[in-house]
């Protein structure tokens, strides 16, 4: 597994959208996504790069392992 830090916000958004997450609103500097059947919202900041700690938290909400994310991000 490679390091996860430094992924662009837009790339994380694209992976979420591929997995069926839908953009519900933009609130301040965050994109808020929801998915049917998942009670949690996915809030992705509109910053250049996502830190490793935040990306791991987002992956937990999306139900992905780091390896699965890296595979989806390369498509």
Report whether 9 contacts 17 (CB < 8 A): no
Burial class (CB within 10 angstroms; exposed 0-12, middle 13-18, buried 19+) of 22: exposed
Please say whether the structural domain 7-73 has been given the CATH code 3.30.920.30: yes
**Using one digit for the tens of pLDDT, what is the confidence trace for 1-42?**
457 778 899 999 999 999 999 999 998 999 999 999 999 999
**Using one digit for the tens of pLDDT, what is the confidence trace for 43-75?**
999 988 999 999 999 999 999 999 999 999 886
pLDDT at res. 63: 94
d(CA 22, CA 74) in angstroms, rounded, equals: 20
What is the domain partition of the chain in residue ranges? 7-73
pLDDT at res. 1: 47
pLDDT at res. 34: 97
């Amino acid at each position: 597994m490679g390091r996860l830090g430094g992924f662009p916000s837009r790339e994380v958004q694209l992976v979420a959208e591929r997995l069926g997450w839908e953009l519900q609103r933009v609130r301040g500097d965050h994109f808020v996504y929801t998915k049917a059947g998942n009670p949690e919202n996915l809030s992705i900041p509109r910053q250049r790069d996502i830190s490793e700690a935040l990306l791991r938290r987002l992956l937990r909400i999306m139900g992905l392992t780091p390896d699965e994310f890296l595979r989806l991000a390369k498509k």
